Homo-oligomer: A and B are copies of this chain.
């Protein structure tokens, strides 16, 4: 990363879909987007899941797009009656929705006479928007203003994402290391961890406990933008934990 003051670039994810809120589908897009954006130095600062209701999507999108540098939405861009994301994005930006000639041409080439009205709905893009490539199958996503509108199907979403990162302003990449403690709970980890955290105010040190066969343990995650400081702090933290009598401690590869 560049030296000097690191600029923070932020994003929010807006997951659109009753199937996530009903518990029917396990979302994995949030994690994939978070990790992908991280490699461009774009920090995911918030995420929301909203149902397939026009007013809810518009309100959440407006709240997020005015607050963060970017918003990535997933879901609701298919051809069925419950796919209302394009309308909602157009409403949020107060623009019309119009058939995009490039998508229409793509669809006509593929479907010819089978270009159903339902499929044709997927050619609609808010006026002023541009396309996000879909390298898998089906119509593209789109982007307007600081909002990227992607499919909800994970494989398609991941494919579209490849066309998103390069179009964002890159931030300073956060470097993350994990120190894993087994057989000791946070009750004894807390004091040494906090001492190290206080000594490194530019970094973020978090404790993510787990509960397994041997009782509680924790993954201590050290995050920062200065690689040398992050590496030195890993060594320092292990030393401080050992000195506090916590023996089963090791640096592990980043997930």
Q: Which positions in A face B, CB cutoff 8 Å?
A: 17-28, 30-36, 38, 43-52, 56, 78-83, 111, 114, 116-119, 121-122, 136-138, 152-153, 155-156, 174, 176, 185-191, 193-194, 197, 204-211, 215-216, 218, 221, 223, 255
User: Contacts A30-B27, A81-B197, A211-B156: A22 and B51 contacting too (C-beta < 8 A)?
Assistant: no
A206 near B116: Cβ-Cβ < 8 Å: no
Residue contact A211 to B136, C-beta cutoff 8 Å? yes
CA distance A111 to B171 in the complex (A): 45
Instruction: Tell me how many chains of this kind the complex includes.
Output: 2
User: What's the dominant secondary structure at chain A's contact region?
Assistant: mixed
How far does the alpha carbon of A215 sit from the alpha carbon of B152 in the complex, in Å?
Answer: 15
Residues of B within 8 A of A174 (CB): 22
> Which residue on B lies nearest to A139, using beta carbons?
B187
Q: Which of A21, A27, A117, A221 has the most CB of B within 10 A?
A: A21
- Checking B24, B46, B122, B152 against A50 with a beta-carbon cut-off of 8 angstroms, the contacting residue is B46
The interface residues of chain B lying within 8 Å CB-to-CB of A81 are 190, 193-194, 197, 205
Q: Which residues of B have CB within 8 Å of A176?
A: 22, 24
Closest beta carbon of chain B to A151's beta carbon, Å: 8
Residues of B within 8 A of A208 (CB): 17, 19, 24-25, 152
Q: Which residues of B contact A138 (CB under 8 A)?
A: 185, 216
